[in-house]
Chain A
Amino acid sequence: MSDARLSVFKTYKLYVGGKFPRSESGRVYEVTDTKGTWLANAPLSSRKDARDAVVAARKAFGGWSGATAYNRGQILYRVAEMLEGRRGQFVREVADAEGLSKSKAAEQVDATIDRWVWYAGWTDKIAQVTGGGNPVAGPFFNLSSPEPTGVVAVLAPQESSFLGLVSVVAPVIATGNTAVVVASERSPLPALSLAEVLATSDLPGGVVNILSGRTAEIAAPLAAHQDVNAIDLAGADEELAKELEIAAADNLKRVLRPQPVDDWTATPGIERMTAFLETKTVWHPTGSLGASGSSY
C-alpha cells in the first residue's frame, strides 16, 4: 500500500459492575510511554467512581462467593484462554507501558497468562490446605473452613503494570472475594485492557472493578469506606501506606502492607490468598445415639 492506513484509537474506559463507563467526573489524564510519547487519555477516577465500584463489588459478592470453587476455577482458566488469544495486543501494551523490548514484554505476558492458570487451579484446593477438622476434646464434629473476606480494595503495583496487577488481583478473586482495583497510576492501560478480557470470560460483572487515576486520590476513599473489608496496599508508597492503614482501622479492614517484590515471575506462595480469607469454625454435637436419635 502506498498510503499508511489511519489506525483507530481506543477510548480507554473504567470497568465497573461489568460495564465500561467513563469517569463520572468527566476527567482524563495523559498516559505516555517511558519516553514520554502520548499513548492515550485514561479516565481520572474520582471518589464517586470509587464508591460506585464498591457498590458493584458488594453486589457481586454474594453470587461470586457462593459459586462453587470448581466454577470459579473454570472462569479463571477462561480468563487465561481469552488472554492467550489477545497475547499480541498485551505484548504491545506492556512494552509501551514499561519500556520493554518485545521479547521482554512477551515474557511478562506469558507469565501473566500462566498466573491465571496457577490461581485457577487453587480455587478448589485452598480450603483443603487451610481448613480441616479439629480434634476437640469432646463429643463434637468441629470443622474450620476458609471464607472470603468480602470486598477487597487492591492498589496494583506501580511498576509491574500487568504481571504485578494480575499477581495481586487473581489471588483475591480466586477465593471468592470481589475487588476494586486501582491500576498503576503511570501505566494503567494494560489494566484497562484486561477489563475487556474479564468481560468476555464469564466473570460476573462487579467481581473485578478497575479504576485508573491518581492512586492517592482513589485509595483514600476506599481505605475509609465502611463497606470495604480489606485493602492490599501493594501500590502505595511508605507514606501513603501508613495513611491508608490508619484510615482502614476505622472498620478494622484486613490490611496487606506493601512488600518489596524483586521478581513478579517467581511462583507465588499462598499468602496473598490467605491474607483475604477468614476462618469459620463450626461445632456440631456428635456422640452416641440416644433413644431420641440425637445426643445433645
Chain B
Amino acid sequence: MTTEKQTPVFEYAPAPESRAVVDIAPSYGLFIDGEFTEAADGKVFKTVSPSTEEVLSEVAEAGEADVDRAVRAARKAFEKWSALPGSERAKYLFRIARIIQERSRELAVLETLDNGKPIKETRDADLPLVAAHFFYYAGWADKLEHAGFGAHPRPLGVAGQVIPWNFPLLMLAWKIAPALATGNTVVLKPAETTPLSALFFADICRQAGLPRGVVNIVTGDGRAGAALVAHPDVDKVAFTGSTAVGKEIARTVAGTRKKLTLELGGKGANIVFDDAPIDQAVEGIVSGIFFNQGQVCCAGSRLLVQESVHDELLDALKRRLSTLRLGDPLDKNTDIGAINSAEQLARITALADQGEAEGAERWSPACELPQHGYWFAPTLFTNVTQAHTIARDEIFGPVLSVLTFRTPDEAVAKANNTPYGLSAGIWTEKGSRILAVANRLRAGVVWSNTFNKFDPTSPFGGYKESGFGREGGRHGLEAYLDV
C-alpha cells in the first residue's frame, strides 16, 4: 500500500462555539475563607489563551503568607465541616454537582479558552466527568461507615492539593470531591497556566452556600505549591503532575504525619495483536495519544504492534491521522487543539527532534498550523527501539512512538520495560489473551479494546514511578481518611 497524502473528503465550514456564554473578569484574587482577596504582596500574573496568546485575565500570585492564610482558614473551617452530619455534607456536594451541570457550557468554553483543548472534549468529556465526580462522592458522604475503612472512619484535616494544567477542572473535581465528602477541608493550587476554572469553581462554592474556608483556592506557580506541601498544618498532600516534582514532594513530607497520594507521569503501552480489529484499534490509538493533544498522563504513547500487522496498521493509522482537524479549539469540528504553553511546546519540540536525531523515522500528516498560539502537528515515529529517548521519556504531547513485537511475552516485557506504570491498552479478539496479558501488565489502568475511558466509580492511579494511591471509586476515599 502507498501512503499518499489524503485530503479530507469534505471541507468544513467554521463552527465556533460562542464565547459570549462566559464572562471573564479582567482580574481575579485568591479565594480564601470565602472571599476573593489580593496576594499579600500584591503580585499578579497573566493567564493567556494558548491558541491565540491573547491575555485572558490577571490573577493574584500567592506567596507563602497567602498559603499560610489559606491553610489557617481551612483549619478553622475543619472543626465545623467535619462535625456536620454526612448527609448535610452530601447535600452541599450534590448542589455543587448540579450547579456544575447547569453551568457546564460556560465552564467548557472557559476551560477551552484557558487550556487550549478542543471544545468537543471539554463539552463531552471534561465537564460531564466533573459533574459526575461530585455527584458520585456526594453520595459517599453519609455512607462512610459502610465503605470498608472501619466503623468510624475519620477525616485527616486540612488537605493541600496541587493539580496540573491538562484537565484543570477535572483534576480539581478528583481532588476536592472525595476530600469534602470525607469531611476534610482543602487548599487547592491550580496550575499556573490554567487558573481560571478553579476560580470559577470558587464562585460555584459561593452559589452552593458552602461554608467559608472549606474550599480555598490559591493561584500561583510552583513556589506556592511547594509552600502548601511544606506547610506544617497540612495533614494530607495530594498531587497530580510530573514524576520529578512528585519525588520532591515525597522527600518534603518524609518524616511528617502527612498522608501522601501522587498521580504522576506515564509512558503507556498500547499493544495491538495480529488478530485485533484494525479499524477499532486505529480509533483507540488515536484517542490514546491525540486526546487532549497527548497531554495526558495515561496516554498510550508507545504503540506496540505485532510485526505481521505493522504495515497494515500503520497505513490505516496514517490515513486516519490525515483526517484529523487541527485548529481553533472553540470550533466544534476541531480534533486537535493548542498545546497548553510555550514551555510545553518547547519540550515536545525538543523531544521530537531528539527522536529524529537518534534515528527514528518521523511522520506527520499535511497539517497547517495557525500563525499565533502554541501548536504541534500530530506526529508518529516508526523504527523506534526501546533505547530511544522517545520510547522512554514522557513527552506529554501528540507524539506516538511505534515499536514492534513478535510474541505476547515480548509484548509484555516491552510494555513493562519502563519505570512508569500508569496505563496500558490491549487490542485482540481473543478473550483469554486479553486476560492473560492484562494480568501481567504492571499498570494501574488497563483498557482492553478501548482506551482513555474514565468514570468516577473506577479507581485510577499508578504502579511504580507513576505514583501511589487511587482516585475514584471506593478506593478514592482511603486517601482522605485516617486509615
Contact = CB atoms under 8 A, between A and B. Distances in A.
Interface of A: 129-130, 134-138, 140, 142, 144, 149, 229, 238, 241-242, 245-246, 248-252, 254-255, 269, 271, 278-285, 294, 296
Q: Which interface residue of B246, B461, B473 has the most chain A CB atoms within 10 A?
A: B473
A245 B255 contact: yes
A259 to B, nearest CB: 11
Contacts of A249: 247-248, 250-251, 254
Given A149-B463, A251-B419, A284-B434, 5 more contacts: A249-B254, A252-B243, A252-B246, A280-B441, A283-B445
Contacts of B353: none
A129 B149 CA distance: 11
Contacts of B132: 137
A281 B446 contact: yes
Interface of B: 132, 148, 150, 243, 246-248, 250-251, 254-255, 262, 264, 277, 280, 419, 429, 434, 438, 441, 443-450, 453, 455, 457-461, 463-465, 467-468, 470, 473, 475, 483
Contacts of B461: 279
Contact of A296 (B280, B419, B438, B468): B280
Contacts of B464: 229, 251-252
Given A246-B254, A251-B465, A278 B444 contact: yes
Nearest to A271: B483
Given A242-B254, A246-B251, A249-B247, A140 B450 contact: yes
A129 B444 contact: no
A136 B455 contact: yes
Contact of B448 (A130, A279, A283): A283
Most buried by A among B243, B255, B450: B255
Given A136-B458, A251-B465, A284 B449 contact: yes
A282 B455 contact: no
Contacts of B441: 280
Given A278-B463, A279-B475, A296-B277, A285 B449 contact: yes
Contact of A281 (B250, B262, B280, B444): B444
Given A135-B457, A281-B459, A238 B446 contact: no
Contacts of B453: 136, 138, 140, 283
A109 B430 CA distance: 51
A282 B438 contact: yes
A241 B280 contact: no
What are the 4 A-B residue pairs with the smallest beta carbon separation, nearest first?
Answer: A242-B255, A249-B250, A245-B254, A136-B455
A252 B468 contact: yes
A242 B446 CA distance: 34
Contacts of A250: 247
Contacts of A251: 419, 464-465
Contacts of A134: 455, 457-459, 473
Given A144-B475, A241-B255, A283 B458 contact: yes
27 contacts: A134-B457, A134-B459, A136-B453, A136-B455, A138-B455, A144-B475, A149-B463, A242-B255, A245-B250, A248-B254, A249-B251, A249-B254, A252-B247, A252-B250, A254-B468, A269-B150, A279-B459, A279-B470, A280-B438, A280-B444, A281-B444, A283-B446, A283-B448, A285-B449, A294-B277, A294-B449, A296-B280
